[in-house]
């Protein structure tokens, strides 16, 4: 039996469809959202340890995913919630945990990188068998709101001309399915990227072709980018951290293309053009004039 946390998210909804129907259970907060998944589900809350423990009874393998960094002071909720799952999985005798992390996760780093670094360390010390997936940025961010857009409908950032090898969430789900159903890769960490690294200007041109209008990339120095985020409603301290992380990315740290994903799923990873083709309607809705 496989229990999927984050089942209604961008990766989880693809994952539950790729797992054997009789072996997967989704952990959801909302009953109506769970019913739309088309698989068995249990209702619980990551901030309710009793509901997490109950859901893990009889489970062999776990996919661990939850929300990313949010603008709150102190420790990220992600850290507390995922520690709860790890501790309960250990107590329940779970066989293997597949954790979704981020590329360059590490203790002491900013935002999601730091939060996932803390959780990875806790998982490694838990006594559980585990694997970690560290994907690059998601292609789906360009229609789910995870990208940074201006009020005028342009793409905003502080990346300069740096290239980023964005990955399709469909492929991330496929990699998770392999690890959850096949031979456990105990203690292994996989960096998942797309097949080609693109600049933000190149991405804006591709989005323009789908949206039917010109979308520009506006590149700003990090301090000005932070001010723009604040103007868009992002809390000041969180905006400063986001801008600093974007500035770090401008040195090309997310440009490499790794072999891990094709080796796991047995095929080439999906291109940005394939993503745009398959999610054309969603992209058009996001970037409508």
Query: What's phi and psi for 288, nearest 5 deg?
Result: -60, 145
Domain ranges of the chain: 2-135, 136-167+193-256+266-289
Using an 8 Å Cβ cutoff, are 169 and 133 in contact?
no
Task: Quote the Cα angle for 119-168-174, to 5°.
Answer: 70
Instruction: Give the Cα separation of 55 and 41 in Å (integer).
Output: 9
Q: What is the structure's pLDDT at 181?
A: 96
Other beta carbons within 10 angstroms of residue 214's beta carbon come to 12
What is the β-pairing status of strands 129-135 and 155-157? unpaired
Q: What is the pLDDT of residue 97?
A: 98
Q: Mind listing the pLDDT tens digit for each residue in 208-242?
A: 999 999 999 999 999 999 998 898 888 999 899 99
**What letter does residue 230 receive in the DSSP assignment?**
H
Matching CATH number, 136-167+193-256+266-289, of 3.40.630.10, 1.10.10.10, 3.90.25.10, 3.90.1720.10: 3.90.25.10
Q: What is the pLDDT of residue 75?
A: 86
pLDDT of 285 reads 87
43 three-class SS: strand
Question: CATH assignment of 2-135?
Answer: 3.40.50.720
pLDDT at position 170 is 97
Tally of CB atoms within 10 A around 20:
11
Q: Please state, in angstroms and rounded to a whole number, the distance separating the CA atoms of residues 76 and 25.
A: 26
Query: For residue 72, how many other CB atoms are within 10 A of its CB?
Result: 10
Helix (H) or strand (E) holding 42, with range, is strand 40-43
Q: Give the residues of the chain that fall short of pLDDT 70.
A: 145-151, 289
How many CB atoms neighbour CB 250 within 10 A?
Answer: 16
pLDDT score recorded for residue 146: 59
pLDDT tens digit sequence for 165-221 = 999 999 999 999 999 999 889 999 999 999 999 999 999 999 999 999 999 999 999
CB atoms within 10 A of CB 236: 12
């Amino acid at each position: 039996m496989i229990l999927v946390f984050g089942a209604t998210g961008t990766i989880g909804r693809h994952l539950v469809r790729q797992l054997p129907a009789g072996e997967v259970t989704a952990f959801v907060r909302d009953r109506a959202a769970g019913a739309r998944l088309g698989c068995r589900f249990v209702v619980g809350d990551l901030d309710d340890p009793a509901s997490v423990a109950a859901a893990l009874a009889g489970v062999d393998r776990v996919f661990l995913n939850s929300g990313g960094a949010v603008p709150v002071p102190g420790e990220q909720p992600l850290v507390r919630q995922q520690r709860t799952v790890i501790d309960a999985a250990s107590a329940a005798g779970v066989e293997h945990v597949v954790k979704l992390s981020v590329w360059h996760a590490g203790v002491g780093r900013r935002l999601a990188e730091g939060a996932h670094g803390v959780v990875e360390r806790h998982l490694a010390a838990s006594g559980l068998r585990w694997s970690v997936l560290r994907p690059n940025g998601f292609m789906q961010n360009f229609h789910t709101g995870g990208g940074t857009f201006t009020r005028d409908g342009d793409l905003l950032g502080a990346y300069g001309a740096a290239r980023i090898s964005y990955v399709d969430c469909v492929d991330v789900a496929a990699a998770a399915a392999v690890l959850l159903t096949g031979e456990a890769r105990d203690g292994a960490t996989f960096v998942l990227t797309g097949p080609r690294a693109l600049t933000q200007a190149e991405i804006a041109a591709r989005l323009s072709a789908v949206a039917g209008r010109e979308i520009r990339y506006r590149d700003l120095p990090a301090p000005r980018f932070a001010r723009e985020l604040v103007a868009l409603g992002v809390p000041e301290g969180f905006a400063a951290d986001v801008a600093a992380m974007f500035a770090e990315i401008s040195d090309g740290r997310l440009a490499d293309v790794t072999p891990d994903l094709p080796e796991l799923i047995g095929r080439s990873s999906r291109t940005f053009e394939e993503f745009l083709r398959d999610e054309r309607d969603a992209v058009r809705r996001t970037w409508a004039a």
